[in-house]
Amino acid sequence: MGLRYRNTPLVEAVFEFVPTSATLTKDGVERLRARFASEYPKLDHLAGVEVQLRLGPTGPSALPTGKQRDRYRLWNAAKSRLLQFAEDMCAFNALAPYSHYEDYLPDIKRFFDAYVLECKAADLGHLGQRYVNRIFLPSEEAAAEDYFTLYPTFPRGAIPIARHPPVSLQVGTQQLSRGQVTMSLHYAGSDGLRPVYFLDLYAHWTDNSKGEFSWPSVKTWQDEAHAAVKCAFEAAITERCRELLGREE
């Protein structure tokens, strides 16, 4: 679709790449950090321990495996882009102000290729593309069903319902060639007199068969996922919402 919005509601877009197996050494972490240091100078180190879930008579329990699963995050100076990586994943986060999917592809590719080189990842385990949108309705009196097609409706007068009741709704929608798009709508309270809703669109890989952990392979899927996410966004909002967001062709 050729629609864009002057008042883009996008808070964050995340592009996920997960191999089935990879090895990330401390030297590899330092090389990745050094390679992107000029553009992403701030490093966060998140220490973590891998756990194994087990089901027992008293319910599930989490047992540490003893394996360290440290994660690293590299921020650019404006905190509008974020690189995340660990032995079991890498991800590129685009935060506000968001431009366009195509603008980020060169940097995503450069980061992905550097990660593959360091981790020797070969097989694909999971892919994801997530778009989180925050939409402010114009006033407390605005009816959410006038702005979202993805909103529950009730027979008028059947039961008393607040103008903006707590709502959290999730729907699985269209199938990708190897995956699915999930749409979620959540009411997050008011900002002054404006009701705030989060519309979360997540395209995710659901194929158990192996794929190739290479840029041509993952980009083909991400391109398809992006088209599906755009379609899901348009399907989830009404014409009144498009006017609110400043629709442009």
Q: Are residues 167 and 202 in the same domain?
A: yes
What's the number of domains the chain is made of? Answer: 2
**From the CB of residue 70, how many other CB atoms can be counted at a distance below 10 Å?**
15
Question: What type of residue is 79?
Answer: K
Closest CA to 130 of 174, 80, 93, 104: 93
The total number of residues shown for the chain amounts to 249
The pLDDT score that the predictor gives to residue 211 is 80
Per the CB < 8 A criterion, the answer to whether 175 and 224 are in contact is no
Q: Are residues 202 and 235 in the same domain?
A: yes
The pLDDT score that the predictor gives to residue 248 is 85
Q: Are residues 69 and 138 in the same domain?
A: no
In DSSP terms, which residues pair with 61 in a beta bridge?
Answer: 54
**pLDDT confidence tier of residue 210, bands split at 50, 70 and 90:** confident
**Residue 213: helix, strand or coil by DSSP?**
coil
Region of poorest pLDDT, from 13-17, 108-112, 175-179:
175-179
Last residue of one domain, picked from the residues 121, 142, 159: 121
Q: Which residues contact 162 (CB under 8 A, 6 or more apart)?
A: none
Per the CB < 8 A criterion, the answer to whether 120 and 21 are in contact is no
The pLDDT score that the predictor gives to residue 1 is 45
pTM: 0.87
Domain that holds residue 173: 1-12+129-249
Q: Are residues 109 and 176 in the same domain?
A: no
State both tokens at 221: 């899927």
Q: Are residues 139 and 223 in the same domain?
A: yes
Q: Residues 147-156: pLDDT tens digits? A: 999 898 776 6
Q: Are residues 103 and 1 in the same domain?
A: no
Q: Are residues 134 and 229 in the same domain?
A: yes
Question: What type of residue is 120?
Answer: K
Q: Residues 25-73: pLDDT tens digits? A: 999 999 999 999 999 999 999 986 554 556 555 555 556 555 667 999 9
Domain assignment of residue 17, yes or no: no
Q: Which residues contact 192 (CB under 8 A, 6 or more apart)?
A: none
- Whole-number CA gyration radius for the chain: 21
